[in-house]
Chains A and B, each alone.
Chain A
Amino acid sequence: MSRQIIVGLVGQPNVGKSTLFNVLTRGNAIVTNWPGTTVERSEAVIRHNNSEIKIIDLPGIYGLSYLTPEERITRKFITEENPDVIVVLADSTILERTLYLVIEILELTGRVVVAVTKVDEAHSRGVHVNYDLISKRLGVPVVPVSAIKGNGIDQLLSSIVEKAGVEYPVLRVEYGELEAFINAIEELFAGSRQLSSKYPPRWLALKFLEGDVEVEELARRQMGGVYSELCMVREEAKRRIGQDLAAFISISRMHFIRENILKDALIIVPLKKIEKSWYRLFYNPFTAPLLSLGILLVVFLAVFIVNTGFPLTTILDKLGYTELASIIGEYSISGIIDKLFTALSNYIVNSLGESPWTLFLVDGLLGGVASVIVFIPLILIVMMALGALEDSGLLPRLAIGVHLLLNKAGLSGHALLPISISMGCNVPGVMSTRAVPSSSQRLKLILLTPFIPCQARLVVLLAIATAIGGFAGALLVPFIYVVSFIIVFTLSYIIHRLTTSERREEVELLLEIPPVHKPYLKVMWWFTWHYLKHFITKAGTVILIVSIASWLLQHTSLGFMYTDNASESIIASASRGLSIILRPLGVSGDYSWIAMYAVIIGFLAKELVLSTIVTATGASDPIEAFKTLGLSTPSAISLALFISLYIPCLATVATIHSETRSWKYTILSIILMLIVAYSLGVLAFHIANILLTIN
């Protein structure tokens, strides 16, 4: 087998370096610190076409000036660790600025492969690049990649393998008037065997002219008497150029990028400019909130109707079009999936016969798979809608529109995305807080977004609402959404008041506003998949395991024997003891243990509340099951509120922990939700009692 190839990954901040690193290493990195610093060093070993590649993620830097620890680490790495290949990243959306670092590194070493990132995003902005031409001009391979989609990754790895061990010449940038001085100094440095074997003399000359601290020190210590000669040439150059040499060199590099590298290799097709007056409505402090909230409301109503039929079904029902309402409900996405799984489980039971094993297969395993799969299309629709808003450039404008409102509650426009995503699923909602620039606001959002009802809770709430029926049933779901948002904003306001004024200042908006264009289905899909995959991997595994485990617990008696009577199970016995907890919510009577039992199971995943109550009551559908519980309307309302709020589901808990890396914070989140849910549940019960008796 061939030798291990050592690769360093270098790029400016925000060019997508960590995304690319994660994609290349598939998330299997070892994290340590760079010696003597607190700067993180991540590395991973991967295989590609029978070659072993060790990839080291270098810190994000803007140039090679030796001023910051990050720049010193990168320079030391290049000159002392002798990597086989340095992958330098350039951002295709801001190519001119990000090529600067590429040029600087190419002046130091020719062992470079350039990866141009975010190529799809650039495309949607109308930026088109001739990569072959740029590659020819730079003299090194240039590979366009889209890390999110995984495009170009294979090609990049192949280029690395091919390039390893090949010494390409360093890049020669033209410095005009300064050339004569550079040549003079270069010759002097070339005379020192010690220095010129380690660094290209021309690079040393440039750094010496720039006044680089390290090169200055090297020249003084190792060049002996020649040092004073070097200084004389530099003084002469300063007089001749008449401005700061470092600035002159930087400007020359920028000019070189524009004229020698990018000229005729970069085409920017101007996107159709929309009417100024139209998009200005999003900036205006009076129209913006109304317009933004209006758009969000319409989008989410459409999503809800497609997913569940609600609220269209409720409205039609109230207007007397009962049949039409039930047809819409039946052909909503959750209706269709429900039908498919019922048919499938009937088929299995019919063909295998009824036995504990078939029951396990159907209710435990299939039910578990179903409870994951059933939410994929629901969350997918939410994410696609948000992806359309994001890709079209509307979402940042909506964020500006709601910023002032959110600001009153101690949040900023950056909170819009996590809140919106949480309406689909809390797991990606919590993860999307990563994009929130202030860490204190991010932590606050991680704590608060789990209060927002996700699609799973929507389905549970709708079933309870149908069971309650009448006027109260129709209002239940809107009521719980309103209460949830009030909780989020009130708690946020309270936390905001309690924090230091310094932290409060961080709640600000700083957002790039991309041009508005027609959304691309592909880009919408990247956005969707980016968030949906978190649900599938994280929530998916947790929910699947938990639903299988809960089935087993529901069918194991106190004597650890199989039982098909759920009321004899371990959980049922525990629930009987604990059901007193729900009494203040108005839940009492013979079947109150079933409610407690559902609450315990719902702790694991809220969508299991329904199936738990159905199996425990032996009813044929959730609506009948709720009726069997014999809850009064006020206690059904308060139970619904409690179930919606009482805890982030287990998958969300796991996500909160992995995002904050703090058990304290994770437990705080659970306790906060329990307290809020319980006290509001009790309050709702009493208020509903009073209101309904008056009527």
Chain B
Amino acid sequence: METTTLDLTREGSVVTVLEIRGGGWVRRLYQMGILPGSQVKVVFNRGVGPIVVRIGDVEVSLGRGIARRIVVKVTQG
């Protein structure tokens, strides 16, 4: 299974968060349910502009700068 960062994942794939590499956003990401171990579906990613992911019932949009700091493992797709 490949390890990558969230900004490089393909649209439609399901990934597991491994690590969040610092930045002032960590706490907020945790609160939104994006923390090591959580499964996230990549709803929208076209290489430019914000990425949209789905965690449980909630969709969250993240800027690419934040997504670049989130290390994930692709579990599906």
Contacts and interface: CB of A to CB of B under 8 A. Distances in A.
A70 to B, nearest CB: 12
A473 B75 CA distance: 62
B1 interface: no
Contacts of B66: 508-510
Given A508-B63, A508-B65, A513-B52, A285 B58 contact: no
A510 B48 contact: no
Nearest to A12: B31
Contact of B44 (A280, A437, A508, A511): A280
Interface string B10-32: 00000000000001110111011
A212 to B, nearest CB: 21
A510 B32 contact: yes
Interface string A429-464: 000000001100000000000000000000000000
Minimum-distance CB pairs A-B, first 8: A508-B63, A285-B49, A509-B63, A513-B59, A283-B44, A285-B48, A508-B65, A511-B61
A509 B29 CA distance: 11
A288 B49 contact: yes
A401 B29 CA distance: 21
B48 A513 contact: no
Contacts of A283: 43-44, 46, 49-50, 52, 61
B50 A400 contact: yes
A538 B25 CA distance: 33
Given A283-B50, A404-B48, A506-B24, 7 more contacts: A97-B33, A283-B49, A403-B63, A404-B49, A509-B50, A510-B32, A510-B61
A275 interface: no
Contacts of A413: 50, 61
Contacts of B25: 437, 508, 510
B60 A510 contact: yes
A438 B65 CA distance: 14
A14 B31 contact: yes
B10 to A, nearest CB: 15
Nearest to B49: A285
A81 interface: no
Contacts of A511: 60-62
Contact of A513 (B28, B31, B46, B61): B61
A412 interface: yes
B61 A509 contact: yes
Contacts of A438: 24
Contacts of B60: 510-513
Main secondary structure of the interface of B (DSSP, over half): mixed
Contacts of B31: 13-14
Contacts of B33: 97
Interface in B29-46: 29, 31-33, 43-44, 46
A513 B32 CA distance: 11
Interface string A489-526: 00000000000000001111111110000000000000
Interface in A273-316: 280, 283-285, 288
Contacts of B59: 512-513
Nearest to B53: A513
Contact of B46 (A284, A396, A505, A507): A284
Contacts of B44: 280, 283-284
Interface in B57-77: 58-63, 65-66
A97 B48 CA distance: 33
A403 B52 contact: no
Interface string A399-424: 01001100100001100000000000
A403 B23 contact: no
A400 B49 CA distance: 8
A412 B32 CA distance: 19
Contacts of A513: 52, 58-61
Given A400-B50, A404-B48, A513-B52, A505 B65 contact: yes
Interface string A1-39: 000000000000110000000000000000000000000
A403 B64 CA distance: 11
A289 to B, nearest CB: 9
A295 to B, nearest CB: 17
Contacts of A506: 24
A450 B57 CA distance: 38
Contacts of B49: 283-285, 288, 400, 403-404
A444 to B, nearest CB: 15
Nearest to B58: A512
A407 B62 CA distance: 13
Most buried by B among A438, A506, A509: A509
A438 B66 CA distance: 13
A599 to B, nearest CB: 42
Contacts of A13: 27, 31
A304 B68 CA distance: 41
A510 B46 contact: no
Nearest to B62: A510
Interface in A637-688: none
Interface in A517-564: none
A517 to B, nearest CB: 14
A673 B43 CA distance: 43
Most buried by B among A13, A403, A512: A512
Nearest to A93: B58
A418 B62 CA distance: 19
Given A283-B44, A510-B32, A505 B52 contact: no
Contacts of B43: 283
A400 B48 contact: no
Nearest to A440: B24
B48 to A, nearest CB: 4
Nearest to A270: B57
Interface string A375-396: 0000000000000000000001
Given A13-B31, A508-B66, A510-B66, A396 B61 contact: yes
A125 to B, nearest CB: 9
B28 A400 contact: no
Contacts of B61: 283, 396, 400, 413, 509-511, 513
A396 B59 CA distance: 11
